[in-house]
Structure 1
Amino acid sequence: MNKLPLQKRVMILNMLVEGMSMRSISRTVGVSINTVTKLLVEAGDACAAYHDETVRDVKSTKVQCDEIWSFCYAKAKNVQTAKAAPEGAGDVWTWTALDADSKMILSYEVGDRSAATAIEFMDDLRARLANRVHLTTDGHKAYLEAVEGAFGADIDFAQLVKMYGDTGHKTPERKYSPGVCTGARKVRIEGNPDISAVSTSHVERQNLSMRMGMRRFTRLTNGFSKKIENHLHMLSLYFVHYNFVRIHKTLKMSPAMAAGVSDTLHDMEWIVSLIDARAPKLGRRGSYKKRNSN
């Protein structure tokens, strides 16, 4: 079975997490688009499994949660009239939970912005924490039931409810600018949250890193995901790279090291090794042995 040299695979994965499109990578590296796609799928599977197994029993103090919007194939309003829209087409929301001290992504969920997705997200977050935490979310109502169901009274939970106003300008460039934040309210929901620590600033800054690091999140381009599966693979690769490989400029170490989840700064060759560890073992010529996977 033909396999790309290690350095080419490292180069492709580095380009992916630095925001290059798959076709740009294909042209730059000199490989087919199918080769880039195959490597993304393999990396996504390996990284998703590693995150699920490794990010457990994290000792965190303050956690911030937010949702970031993107879309697959077409925006929700255009799906009905889109030609051959695949399953999963439409608006896609990525929910993230970030440890405010280590900046580590503890949990993520991809789906719509409904209460059902919020419940799955909070259940997953709860399973990854080792202790009671101070949780801040935005004012999205779906969090109320989800946090109650996952944590009960074992949490200090508050919401930061922001209020936005009209810019008052009717010029064409208004579509490129967010609404003006006219104020914010800190609302205690459960437990005894420290009102002075109620903030979503760190997780909102992470949203910017996601838009910069993944071409699929860039607005007003044709770089959006065409398949929801590839969208998920890119997210899995990005989060493992962000947590375990990338040095945070403020912390001077990776978020996983700051959180005590890892004692080693990894590199992209390590992610390639995760891929190779999951590859089927070759047996006699013309056959292979599958690894056991649960």
Structure 2
Amino acid sequence: MWTFVKSRNNEVWIWLALEVNSRKVIGYAVGDRSVNTFKRLWDGISDKIKRKAIFYTDRWDAYNLIPYKQRIIKKGGTNHVERLFLTLRNDNPRFTRKTIRFSKSLEMLEISLKLWIHYYNSYTLR
């Protein structure tokens, strides 16, 4: 998902890893849409999860870091995370694309995201 900081010309991408059964966020990264940002997300996921999990992705090149046998490229496989992004945008106007509310610094955007993830994970009923 993308949003912006200071101006619409300064796009910032939010990457999330979601555990499908519990619907809890297990990792995140904030940055550009590059392999380096995905690598930060990938490194933030525990090794136990990385060894056993199946990852649903789209065809973005950065996802090639995921072992081939654990990656499923499938339309519709990312429904849960797309719904999570919608919930994030509804809960916090800072993350919407067309708004007068926005973060003035990357640090504040990331702090807001961390707080929201903590709130979301604490109250997820599954």
Counterpart of 2:60 (choices 137, 140, 145) is 140
Structure with greater strand share of residues: 2
Q: Distance in 1 between matches of 2:51 and 2:60?
A: 24
The question of 1:158 aligning with 2:77 is answered no
Gap runs ≥5 in structure 1: 1-67, 77-89, 161-183, 185-197, 259-294
Using the size of structure 2 for normalisation, the TM-score is 0.89
Q: Distance in 2 between matches of 1:108 and 1:239?
A: 9
Task: Name the residue aligned to 1:209.
Answer: 87
The 4+ residue runs of structure 1 with deviation greater than 4 A are none
Q: Distance in 2 between matches of 1:237 and 1:124?
A: 17
RMSD over equivalenced CA pairs, Å: 1.9
Using the size of structure 1 for normalisation, the TM-score is 0.40
Q: Identity over aligned residues, as a percent?
A: 32
* Alpha-carbon contact 2:27-2:44 (below 8 Å) kept: yes
* Alpha-carbon contact 1:71-1:225 (below 8 Å) kept: yes
* Alpha-carbon contact 1:106-1:128 (below 8 Å) kept: no
C-alpha spacing 1:223/1:232, structure 2 compared with 1 (3 Å) = same
Q: Distance in 2 between matches of 1:142 and 1:106?
A: 18
C-alpha spacing 1:200/1:230, structure 2 compared with 1 (3 Å) = same
The question of 1:242 aligning with 2:113 is answered no
* Alpha-carbon contact 2:56-2:71 (below 8 Å) kept: yes
Counterpart of 2:4 (choices 58, 68, 71) is 71
Query: How many pairs were matched up?
Result: 126
* Alpha-carbon contact 2:18-2:24 (below 8 Å) kept: yes
Give the number of the structure with larger relative contact order, counting CA–CA contacts within 8 Å between residues 6 or more apart. Answer: 2
* Alpha-carbon contact 2:93-2:99 (below 8 Å) kept: no
- Aligned partner of residue 129 in structure 1, secondary structure: helix
Task: Name the residue aligned to 1:105.
Answer: 25
Task: Name the residue aligned to 1:188.
Answer: none
- Aligned partner of residue 26 in structure 2, secondary structure: strand
